[in-house]
């Protein structure tokens, strides 16, 4: 356990070094947040009848998306791991007394957490004090906040388990481009990052629920605004845990298979 904490720490320090990138990230995320909120305001003001999610709830949804970008985006990647595989430096990882799966899992987790801390804290701090129509609202009650934090953390673990599959696929394909593209395009859509899931037609929502992607983004954000009631949130946590167990089992099995046939590239 100590080793995972240690690698987490080191990766975390490493991530904290990139302050300029974080600052630029915050600016971009603000820009996007405003843009998307304005688009939805325009839609809502011309739409008839009631929408499946209220505008303040949607605004909150958008700000949370921007703030926790590092927790929900599959294109967020660790190039170092890809290089380890394609250049053959993985030789060193393989002579460590630890499972590579856990080791990399800790690295990826740390990378996302360090990036989120640098990017999300400033966004959250400012979004609470924006003019009313753009404001990030507080959760309805403390219990909801707790539920949100729990679902957010489990959601992060689910996402990292999915992204592990991308890294494992590189053992076979030797290039991260393909799997990264498929996973990030499909994942982004199915997690509601392009169109919020409540605004999707019912048949599309049914498809989205077949995949784990919405569990790391859409689900916690709707729990936060109270759009998903508490009982449903608890059921969602169970489904998150089941997916997590399944993804980790698949990932470990795939990793073991890949390692048995591994070829260390480059002599």
Partner 1 sequence: MITVKGISKSFKVPRRSAGMGQALKSLFRREYTVVHALSDISFSIEPGEIVGYIGPNGAGKSTTIKVMSGILVPDSGTCTIMGYTPWRDRVRYVKRIGVVFGQRSQLWWDVPVIDSFELLRDIYDVPEREYRDTLDLLTETLDLKHIVNTPVRQLSLGQRMRCEIAASLLHSPSVLFLDEPTIGLDAVSKIAVRQFIRTINKEKGVTIILTTHDMNDIEALARRILLIGKGSLLYDGSLQELRSRFGTRKTITADYMERQEPLAIPGVSIVSWTPERAVLSVDTEQVMMSEALTRLAEQVDLLDVAIDTQPIEDIIVQLYKEYQIS
- Per-residue burial over 64-87, b = 16 or more CB atoms within 10 Å of its CB, e = otherwise: bbbbbbbbbbbebbbeebbebbbe
70, two tokens: 């590092």
Taking CB under 8 A as the criterion, the residue among 52, 56, 88, 139 binding partner 1 is: 88
**What distance separates the 2 farthest-apart alpha carbons in the chain?**
66
The residue from 24, 42, 91, 249 that contacts partner 1 (CB under 8 A) is 91
> Which one among 92, 132, 210, 238 touches partner 1, defined by CB under 8 A?
92
Least Cβ distance, residue 170 to partner 1 (angstroms): 17
Asked if 46 is part of the footprint of partner 1 (rule: CB under 8 A), the reply reads no
Q: Under rule CB under 8 A, how many of the chain's residues touch partner 1?
A: 26
Q: How many CA atoms lie within 13 A of 209 on its CB side?
A: 10
Q: Please count the other Cβ atoms lying within 10 Å of the Cβ belonging to residue 161.
A: 24
Question: With respect to partner 1, which residue has the nearer C-beta, 80 or 206?
Answer: 80
Is the CB of 209 or the CB of 257 nearer to partner 1?
257
What does the alpha-carbon distance between residue 70 and residue 163 come to, in Å, rounded to a whole number?
12
Q: How far apart are CA 206 and CA 252, in angstroms?
A: 29
Report the length, in residues, of the chain: 267
Is residue 17 near partner 1 by the rule CB under 8 A? yes
Question: Toward partner 1, which CB reaches closer, 15 or 236?
Answer: 15
Closest CA to 93 of 7, 10, 1, 177: 7
2 binds partner 1 (CB under 8 A): yes
**Cβ of residue 15: shortest distance to partner 1, in angstroms?**
10
What residues numbered 95-134 form the site for partner 1, per CB under 8 A?
A: 95-99
Using CB under 8 A, list all residues that contact partner 1. 2-3, 5-7, 10, 13-14, 17, 87-89, 91-92, 94-99, 260, 262-264, 266-267
């Amino acid at each position: 356990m100590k080793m995972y904490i240690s690698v987490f720490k080191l990766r975390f320090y490493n991530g904290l070094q990139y302050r300029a990138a974080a600052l630029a990230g915050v600016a971009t995320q603000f820009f996007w947040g405003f843009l998307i909120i304005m688009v939805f305001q325009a839609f809502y003001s011309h739409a008839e009848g009631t929408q499946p999610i209220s505008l303040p709830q949607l605004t909150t949804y958008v700000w949370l998306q921007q703030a926790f970008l590092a927790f929900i985006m599959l294109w967020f990647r660790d190039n170092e791991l890809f290089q380890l595989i394609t250049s053959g430096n993985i030789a060193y990882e393989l002579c460590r007394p630890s499972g590579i799966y856990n080791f990399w899992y800790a690295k990826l987790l740390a990378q996302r957490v360090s990036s989120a801390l640098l990017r999300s804290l400033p966004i959250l701090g400012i979004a609470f004090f924006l003019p009313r129509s753009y404001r990030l609202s507080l959760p309805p009650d403390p219990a909801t906040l707790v539920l949100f934090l729990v679902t957010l953390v489990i959601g992060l673990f689910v996402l990292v388990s999915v992204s592990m599959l991308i890294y494992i696929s590189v053992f076979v394909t030797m290039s991260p481009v393909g799997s990264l593209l498929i996973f990030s395009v499909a994942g982004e859509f199915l997690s509601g990052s392009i169109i919020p899931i409540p605004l999707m037609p019912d048949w599309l929502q049914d498809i989205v629920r077949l995949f784990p992607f919405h569990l790391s983004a859409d689900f916690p954000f709707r729990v936060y605004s109270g759009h998903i009631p508490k009982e449903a949130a608890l059921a969602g946590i169970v489904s998150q845990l089941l997916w997590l167990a399944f993804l980790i089992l698949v990932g470990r099995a795939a990793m073991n298979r890949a390692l048995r046939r591994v070829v260390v590239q480059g002599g």
